[in-house]
Structure 1
Amino acid sequence: MDRAAARREDAGWLRAAWERENTRVLPLAGGRTRVSEGPDGWRLALVRPRDCPPGGTRYFLGTDGTGAAYFAYATGRLPAPPTGTARVAALGDGDCPLGDRDHGMLVHATALENWHRNHGRCPGCGDPTTVEGGGHVRRCAACGVEHHPRTDPAVLMLITDAGDRCLLGSRTRWPAHQYSVPAGYVEPGETAEAAVRREAAEEAGVAIGAVRCVETEAHPFPGSLMLGYEADAVSSDARADGSEMAAVRWFTRDALARAVRTGDVALPDRRYLARRLVERWYGGPLDPAPESAGAPWTE
């Protein structure tokens, strides 16, 4: 998908695109939409503009390689699905994984819907704001200020020591067997690398040397950008802070594989960056034995 940002300010083009027969729309209602299962897997159940109920708000998502336009449409109720079997699902629904294009569209649309739902008034003067820029801007008519969607950066860190063991922790709000990498939000005036070192020290009592950003992930819950790092621990000293982390543990590859296989350790679902960081270090998939496998979980 080409986000075609230059088209967002062209109101005439957007109006014309909405009327075209080849335009497709992703309806959203409270973070949920319809998906359909076909021979190639799950896909978004896109509709035509004329199938959308009145009273919603549309956001321009971009164009595909043929030039067809795509919109999201935030509405109080989802329109009837196109012909074929369809079900209602949300972005985090693991029962119907989407392909890259559809997942990217849903991430984009969900982030915009979340932002618009909570920013109907100007934070400066309190007057109502109006939607512009194809859904990527809200403008206050009273004070003239433009407001843009907010993205909150957060860091996740796969920490290893001199023995190439990785450090995982269980948060105080999780069941004791659920483990993941340390993580936290970047604070104002702080670089992402400084946030890695601060969060590692605060949550796990670990001093960090070199850090390397290896992967990022859009995470619209409601509007975060996850920055995945690998980090080298200066020493093997580690302790849970007792506030965010209930426990932290160093794992060799064999020990972690054994703990996951037996169900003693449950990792986040494979769709999420935290799991991918762990499996990148491990060198392959980490799966529980069938008899010990539980439901996947997310942070």
Structure 2
Amino acid sequence: MHAVPPLARTLIDRDGEARADGDLAERFDADPRARIVSVHAGRLLVAQQVEGSPVALDQRHPSTAPEPMLRVYLGRTVPAGAPVEVRVFDEAGAEAVEPEAARWQSLRALAPVLDDADASLATEAVALANWHERHPRCPRCGGATHPVQAGWARRCEVDDSLHFPRTDPAVIVLVTDDDDRVLLGSNALWEPGRFSLLAGFVEPGESLEAAVVREIGEEAGIAVDRVEYRASQPWPFPASIMLGFTARVAAGAHAGEARPDGEEILELRWFGRDDLAAATDDLVLPGPASIARWLLEQWYGGPIDSQTPWTTG
């Protein structure tokens, strides 16, 4: 098991000082070491595989690609120092870059199989591509915006205001009882048999710890305490960061009192390790790219052999 969640692996120097360089784009295009990560419709281009080769991002020189819809400077590779951009292509551009559809793959599918360097680039690339796609207009006046600062901001063409990428914080919680069983819930939007940890967005003016207690109270009707932070990871679907916590059923409360809210959560179940191992043939667990799976396997003590795949994305 990785010491950190799958999308939290960071092996890139973001080189923030370079973003203000007005000649950055020209210098990047002329640099023989420059490489681009290609994105189309939220999917990343992977390199052509030969028998036995690992899955890797396609990283080609910018001179080999057509004009993109968007380019954003990601930073420099570590330790080589090669500059990298994400280039976002429309349908025609993507077809010119690579017509084979199977080579355009989702971040959810790629995260568990990419090495740390490629996973770091892929996560940053998708997060920025998603932000630009969803913020074509100024939140203050509604005017059109355009990318500036090497793609790390957008400027309004009407009121000249500057806007930066935002990330929405959400807590995700591994709740256990005094018998060290874990609480899993099934969301109303999921197919039957699909379970994960309980999670929710942090509200304005709320601490992370308070959000944990509130979310579990709202979704499971049970009080928790002994809230402990474990890890975080970006979740750019489209713009969240998942903050992983553990919590225990509070003193005086009982695990049997847990009840789904009936709106967001339709079913709750407690699992011991043996229960989980026995149920994996019929249970759909969180996908391997998620911090939910990472937290669950940290509690379990190793990889969980789940036969039924998580189908999203």
TM-score, length basis structure 1: 0.91
Q: Which amino acid aligns with 2:42?
A: G
Deviates more, 1:217-226 or 1:9-18: 9-18
SS at match of 1:164: coil
Q: Does structure 1 conserve the Cα–Cα contact (< 8 Å) formed by 2:37 and 2:86?
A: yes
Structure 2 CA distance for aligned equivalents of residues 18 and 68 of structure 1: 12
2:38 equivalent among 7, 16, 27? 27
Structure 2 residue ranges without an equivalent (≥5) = 1-11
Q: Which residue of 2 aligns with 1:244?
A: 264
How much has 1:98 moved relative to structure 2?
1.4
SS at match of 2:36: strand
Q: Which residue of 2 aligns with 1:44?
A: 57
Q: Does structure 1 conserve the Cα–Cα contact (< 8 Å) formed by 2:14 and 2:74?
A: yes
Q: Which residue of 1 aligns with 2:22?
A: 11
Structure 1 CA distance for aligned equivalents of residues 301 and 270 of structure 2: 17
SS at match of 1:44: coil
Q: Does structure 2 conserve the Cα–Cα contact (< 8 Å) formed by 1:137 and 1:148?
A: yes
How much has 1:81 moved relative to structure 2?
4.6
Q: Which residue of 1 aligns with 2:120?
A: 104
SS at match of 1:92: helix
User: 4+ residue stretches of structure 1 with deviation over 4 A?
Assistant: none
Structure 2 CA distance for aligned equivalents of residues 174 and 127 of structure 1: 37
Identity of aligned residues (%): 39
1:67 equivalent among 81, 85, 104? 81
Deviates more, 1:90-99 or 1:237-246: 90-99
Residue 257, structure 1, aligned to residue 277, structure 2: yes
Q: Does structure 2 conserve the Cα–Cα contact (< 8 Å) formed by 1:171 and 1:179?
A: yes
Q: Which amino acid aligns with 2:303?
A: P
TM-score, length basis structure 2: 0.87
1:219 equivalent among 235, 246, 258? 235
SS at match of 2:146: strand
Q: Which residue of 2 aligns with 1:135?
A: 151
Q: Which amino acid aligns with 2:54?
A: G
How much has 1:32 moved relative to structure 2?
1.7
Root mean square deviation of aligned Cα: 2.2
Q: Does structure 2 conserve the Cα–Cα contact (< 8 Å) formed by 1:155 and 1:229?
A: yes
For residues 255-291 of structure 1, give each alpha carbon's deviation from its aligned partner in whole angstroms, at most 9, with x where no partner exists.
111111xx23221122211111111111112214xxx
Structure 2 CA distance for aligned equivalents of residues 88 and 287 of structure 1: 27
Q: Which residue of 2 aligns with 1:186?
A: 202
Structure 1 pair 160/95, CA: closer, same or farther in 2 (3 Å)? closer
SS at match of 2:263: coil
Structure 2 CA distance for aligned equivalents of residues 81 and 22 of structure 1: 21
Residue 176, structure 1, aligned to residue 189, structure 2: no
Q: Which residue of 2 aligns with 1:116?
A: 132
Structure 2 CA distance for aligned equivalents of residues 44 and 86 of structure 1: 13
Structure 1 residue ranges without an equivalent (≥5) = none
How much has 1:96 moved relative to structure 2?
8.1
Structure-to-structure mapping, 1:85-96, within 5 angstroms: 87-93=103-109
How much has 1:56 moved relative to structure 2?
2.6
For residues 138-170 of structure 1, give each alpha carbon's deviation from its aligned partner in whole angstroms, at most 9, with x where no partner exists.
012432211011101111100011121111111
For residues 106-161 of structure 1, give each alpha carbon's deviation from its aligned partner in whole angstroms, at most 9, with x where no partner exists.
11111111111121221212222121111110012432211011101111100011
Q: Which residue of 1 aligns with 2:4?
A: none
Q: Does structure 1 conserve the Cα–Cα contact (< 8 Å) formed by 2:221 and 2:258?
A: yes
SS at match of 1:297: coil
Q: Does structure 2 conserve the Cα–Cα contact (< 8 Å) formed by 1:8 and 1:14?
A: no
Deviates more, 1:39-48 or 1:17-26: 39-48
Structure with larger RCO (C-alpha < 8 A, sep 6+): 2
Structure 2 CA distance for aligned equivalents of residues 259 and 148 of structure 1: 45
Structure 1 pair 219/140, CA: closer, same or farther in 2 (3 Å)? same
Q: Which amino acid aligns with 1:124?
A: R
